Each structure stands twice: as C-alpha cells, then as structure tokens.
Copies of this chain bind each other. A is one copy, B any other.
Amino acid sequence: MDVLIDADTIRSPELRHEIPAGIIDPFLYGEHDGKPFAVVSALDAPTIALARPDLHQVDMIADLGLMELVADGVSPYQAMLEVRLRACREVGVSEAAVPPSFPLATAEYLRAHGITLHVDRERFDARRRRKTPAELAGIRRATVGAQAGLQAMRDALREGITCEELRVIVRQAVEPHAALGEFNVARGPQTATGHGPGSGPIQRGEPVILDLAPQDRDTGTFSDIARTFVVGDPDPEIARWHTLVVEVLEDAIAHVRPGVEGRELYARACDRFEAEGFATQRKPGKAVMEGFPTSLGHGVGLEIHEAPSLGRSGEAFLSGDVITIEPFLCRPGFGGVQVEEVLLVTDTGAELISDFTYSL
C-alpha cells in the first residue's frame, strides 16, 4: 500500500519519523511501491536531502508549475493543493494509506480528483514503536534534561517557595539540555486534579508533584518523568500512598518484557490498588478523579503519549518500545502522589532510561 502524509515535521510525529529534520512549512511526503518521495520548496530541499538522501524530491516550482498556477490567478492555497495532486499523478500514487490527522482539505481535493485514501492509524503508530538509534539517543538526552529539572527542584524546595518560582528554576535547569513546553508544579489539593500548571506557596507536609516532558532539540523526541516531593515530614496518608505507588511501579518494571501486554500490567496495578481499597477505572469510585483513576502509562517518543498503551486495552510490548510507567493515587480536595519512570523494552526485559531517586 502506498502512503501519503501532508504535514510539517514540527507538529507531525508521523512525518518527523520519516524525515528526521525540523521543517516548519507543511509539505507532501509519500511512498510509492516502497520508494519515498516528497514535494518540496527550494528553501527546504537541502535540509530534506541531508536528512533523507534516498528520497526522491519533486520541486513544487521547477517540476510542478506552482508559479504558473499563481500567475494564472489560482490562489496560493488552491495552488498548493493542485501541486500535491500533480505530484501524486507524476509519481503514480492512485491509492494510499494516510494517518488519522491527515488534513481534511487535502483529502477532499485528492479524492475529488480520483485518488483513494484510507485512514490507517495502526500502520503509522506501528512505524514509530521500535525507536531508531537517533530517536533513542534523543529520548536519553531529554531524560537527562528532565533529571536536571528534578534535581534543581529538589535543591530549591522549601516551605513558602511558590510553584511559580519553582517553575522558573526547573526551566532554567532543563533548557540547556532540552526544550521544555508546558509542565506542572502542583501542590496540596492541586496534585489531585492533574494537568493544571500549579500555583501558590509550598506548605510543610503537603505533596508537591513535578511532571515534565522535555523535548530533545535534534530529534524532536520527548521524555516524560514525574516525582512527588514533600517539605518536612509528609502527611501520614501521603507517605503510605507513596510507599504503595513505588511498590506498584517497581512491580510493573520487573514484569516488562516483549510479549507482555500493557493491559496485564494495568490489571496487576489495579489488583494491588483495589486490594488496598482504592477505586480504579475498573471499579470507579464516586468522583471521577479518585483512587487510581488513570492508566498505568504509555509509549513515548515523537509524541508524549503514543503507542503502546498501559491501560485497559494495552497491547503486547515490542523490543525497542519506549514506555513510561506512572502509578498515581489521589483524592479530590486532598492531594495526589505520582512517580513516573521512562524505560526501554529490551529483548529480555526493561532498561531504565531515567536514574533519579523515588524518595519524597
């Protein structure tokens, strides 16, 4: 089956995997009879050639008449669609698999002119499962950045310092290593609600969660790590939760190997949490965010959240998968505890990519 992707490599993990270079303007990439091609501007041609020397470049101006279309009064936007169609015809693509995110406008134009397209999520997810050596090196660099952030926060953490101040300190520590987008420093009851950025001064005994996903600048790959900290003596319930979360994390890590299914590890974690009286997605409590309300983890690579899943429908691991395991316990209005590790699935088990204490 031929393949088409219409995207830029900054926003599209599917395309970044095929063209390992940062290209901000969208272009059409394809494979016909297994041979890759791309419809490129003269500006981006050298960068793409360097990243994929085997790729056949079709120049949208010199080969496909983009300027003549615009000179004839076609809008640049319509002309870019027509150029994509002309490339498919020139290369010989009449039917292709596309990712779920394929832009509707391009799909409608190609289909209206006789090209058949099939959305095929599994195909594109599967391509990114086993990381390339370059992608794995990128995840390792991003993880070094994440650990620098965790260490800086651990060093700076004291009663009264605010989440906002801690965010600045973490960012300064991470950015020499990797880019850092949105991330959370949550405290007290904020740690129960998840994705908010966090605010206000840290109090003694309350949980503080740092969850961050730095992105390697060369490859665009992410890491994703979280730890829970406490200033002074932890609230006894938080301490008990933390012990249990670390136990579940270590048990899951010990059971990772190719062929084991993400759903099995999720079920093991639920068994343990439910035995201690916590709600899970399998046995929901009264509140949506209560007990262990999330999945156990996810693949990570050119997206922060990608295949495989470690939730209720998690598939079998492959050697070369990079996954996170992130058990979480919470109660609305009170707080939460999370520890998240990133690891590589090897032929025989798992290799921790991160190396940072779990201690509160």
Bound complex: CA A46 to CA B304 (Å): 21
Known A-B contacts A181-B179, A281-B67; A195 and B103 likewise in contact (beta carbons under 8 Å): no
- Please indicate the chain B residues that have their CB under 8 angstroms from the CB of A119 in the complex: 104-105, 108
Given contacts A42-B194, A70-B312, A289-B42, contact A105 B121 (CB under 8 A): yes
Complex-state Cα separation, A269 to B313, whole angstroms: 59
* Cα(A312)–Cα(B72), bound, Å: 11
A43 CA to B281 CA, complexed, in Å: 14
> In the assembled complex, how far is the CB of residue A84 from the closest CB belonging to chain B, in whole angstroms?
12
6 A-B pairs besides A50-B196, A100-B106, A105-B119 with CB distance below 8 A are: A11-B11, A24-B304, A24-B305, A42-B289, A67-B284, A100-B104
Across-interface contacts of A270 in B (CB, < 8 A): none
Interface membership of A193, Cβ < 8 A: yes
- What residues of B have a CB within 8 angstroms of the CB of A24 in the complex? 181-182, 304-305
Q: Which of B77, B104, B311 contacts A76 (CB 8 A)?
A: B311
Complex contacts, A108 vs chain B, CB 8 Å: 119
Q: How far is the CB of A359 from chain B (nearest CB, A)?
A: 26
Mind listing 10 A-B residue pairs with CB under 8 Å? A23-B195, A44-B195, A47-B195, A70-B313, A71-B312, A77-B121, A103-B104, A104-B104, A105-B121, A175-B175
A107 at the interface (CB under 8 A from B): yes
- Cross-interface CB contact of A103 among B25, B102, B311, B313, cutoff 8 Å: B102
Complexed CA–CA distance, A289 and B45 (Å): 12
B305 and A42 within 8 A (CB): no
A43: chain B residues within 8 A (beta carbon): 193-195, 289, 294
In the assembled complex, the Cα of A288 lies from the Cα of B47 at a distance in Å of: 16
Which residues of A100-122 have CB atoms within 8 Å of chain B's CB atoms?
Answer: 100-108, 117, 119, 121
Whole-angstrom distance between the alpha carbons of A1 and B263 in the complex? 43
Contact with B along A189-230 (1 / 0, CB 8 A): 000011111000000000000000000000000000000000
> Is A42's CB under 8 angstroms from B181's CB?
no
What is the 8 Å Cβ interface bit string for chain A, positions 274-290, against chain B (1 contact, 0 not)? Answer: 00000001001000110
Q: Does A62 contact B (CB under 8 A)?
A: yes
Q: A70-B313, A75-B313, A121-B77 are in contact. Are A47 and B196 (CB under 8 A)?
A: yes
A194 to B194: give the CA distance in the assembly, Å: 43
A180-B209 Cα distance, complex, nearest whole Å: 26
The answer on a CB contact under 8 Å between A100 and B103 is yes
The answer to whether the Cβ of A164 comes within 8 Å of any Cβ in the partner chain is: no
> Min CB distance, A332 to chain B, in Å?
9
> Is residue A22 within 8 Å, beta carbon to beta carbon, of the partner chain?
yes
Q: Are A197 and B47 in contact (CB under 8 A)?
A: yes
A341 to B24, CA, bound (A): 19
B61–A288 contact, CB under 8 A? yes
Could you tell me the distance between the alpha carbons of A44 and B289 in the complex, rounded to whole angstroms? 12
